[in-house]
Amino acid sequence: MILPEIISNTEKLYLAPLEEFFVREWGDTILLSHDLCHHKRVWEFAKELLEFSEEEGIDDMFVAKLLIPRVKQLKLPVFIFLRFKI
């Protein structure tokens, strides 16, 4: 699979559920520097960097790990990762 296809498939699988989760959990929190728009911008920059990467072997799991925040940092419930099959 080529990189644009990997990115597109990863977004189709994870992006909407992740955004719904963040809005549900932190939607009422006012922290403009780290709101959902901030995280969307960071993801767009990450995709741009991936496009310039000469690293071989970038696969769907690597891209998914860039999109999905680290578990320990967020202290997310286990069910969300079971839902995403990680």
pLDDT in tens, 41-85: 888 998 988 888 877 778 888 888 888 765 444 454 444 444 444
Statement: residue 1 has pLDDT above 50: yes
pLDDT for res 85: 43
Residue 38 lies in domain: 3-84
Range 71-75 contact pairs with CB under 8 angstroms and sequence separation of 24 or more: none
More confident residue, 36 or 77: 36
Separation CA 43–CA 48 (nearest Å): 9
- Please give the tally of structural domains in the chain: 1
Look at the pTM and tell me if it is higher than 0.85: no
pLDDT score, position 69? 66
Q: Which amino acid is at 8?
A: S
